[in-house]
Amino acid sequence: MCGIVAAVGTDNVLPILMEGLKRLEYRGYDSAGVALVQAPGRLGRAREVGKVAALEQALVAAPLTGMTGIAHTRWATHGKPSQDNAHPHMSGRVAVVHNGIIENHLALRAELMADGFVFTSETDTEVMAHLVERELQRSDSLLQAVERAVARLEGAYALGVIDAEAPDRVIGARQGSPLVVGVGDHGCYLGSDPLALLSVTDRFIYLEDGDLVVVNQGGCTVHGLAPDGTRQEVVREVMRFEHDDLAVGKGEFAHYMLKEIHEQPVAVANALEGRLGADRVLIEALGPQARELLADTRQVHIVACGTSYHAGLVARYWIEELAGVPCQVEIASEYRYRQVVAPPGTLFLALSQSGETADTLAALRHARRRQGDDAYIGSLAVCNVPGSSLVRESDLSLMTHAGPEIGVASTKAFTTQLTALMLVTLALRQVRGGDPELTARLVHRLRYLPTLLGDAVALDEEIRGIADGLASHRHALFLGRGSQMPIAMEGALKLKEISYIHAEAYAAGELKHGPLALIDETMPVVALAPMDDVREKLNSNLQEVRARGGELLVFADPESGVVAGEGVTVVNVPACCHYLAPIVYTVPLQLLAYYVAVARDTDVDQPRNLAKSVTVE
Ligand code: HGA
Distance from Cα 56 to the centre of ligand 1, integer Å: 21
Over residues 412-451, the pLDDT tens digits come to 999 999 999 999 999 999 999 989 999 999 999 999 999 9
Asked if the model's pLDDT at residue 560 lies above 70, the reply is yes
CA distance 545 to 5: 52
DSSP codes joined into one string, 56-119? HHHHHHS----SEEEEEEE--SSS-S-TTTSSPEEETTEEEEEEEEETTHHHHHHHHHHTT---
- Express as a percent the part of the chain with pLDDT over 70: 98
Ligand 1 pocket test: pick from 105, 108, 123 the residue with the most ligand atoms within 8 Å of its Cβ.
Answer: 123
What is the rounded CA–CA span in Å between residue 298 and residue 294?
Answer: 9
User: From CA 218, how far away is CA 293, in angstroms rounded?
Assistant: 43
What average pLDDT does the structure give for the chain? 93
Q: Enter the CATH code of domain 250-454.
A: 3.40.50.10490
Lowest mean pLDDT among 73-77, 178-182, 467-471: 73-77
Kindly tell me if the per-residue pLDDT of 252 is higher than 70: yes
Q: What is the pLDDT of residue 281?
A: 92
Catalytic residue positions, numbered? 2, 612
Phi/psi class of residue 153: alpha, beta or left (left: φ > 0; alpha: ψ in -120 to 50)? Answer: beta
Across-strand partners of 98? 159
CATH T-level topology, domain 460-599 = Rossmann fold (3.40.50)
Closest-lying ligand 1 atom to the alpha carbon of residue 75? 7
CB 238 within 8 A of CB 203: yes
The pLDDT of residue 48: 97
CA 280–ligand 1 middle distance (angstroms)? 46
pLDDT at residue 615 is higher than 70 = no
Q: How far is ligand 1, taken at its centre, from the CA of residue 504, in Å?
A: 30
**Could you tell me the pLDDT band of residue 243, with boundaries at 50, 70 and 90?**
low
Domains 250-454 and 460-599 share a fold: yes
Q: Which residues line ligand 1 (CB under 6 A)?
A: 1-2, 74-79, 98-101, 123-125, 615-616
Model confidence at 245, in pLDDT bands (50, 70, 90)? very low
Q: Three-state DSSP class for 289?
A: coil
Q: What is the pLDDT of residue 248?
A: 64
Give the distance (Å) from ligand 1 centre to CA of residue 353: 20
Q: How far apart are CA 446 and CA 460, in angstroms?
A: 23
Domain 3-241, architecture per CATH: 4-Layer Sandwich (3.60)
Boundaries of every domain in the chain? 3-241, 250-454, 460-599
Asked if residue 501 has pLDDT above 50, the reply is: yes
pLDDT in tens, 112-146: 999 999 999 999 999 999 999 999 999 999 999 99
Reported as a single tens digit per residue, the pLDDT across 326-357 is: 999 999 999 988 888 899 999 999 999 999 99
Query: What is the position in ligand 1's atom list of the atom closest to the CA of 614?
Result: 8
pTM: 0.78
How confident is the model at residue 445, as a pLDDT? Answer: 96
Per-residue pLDDT tens digits for 573-589:
999 999 999 999 999 99
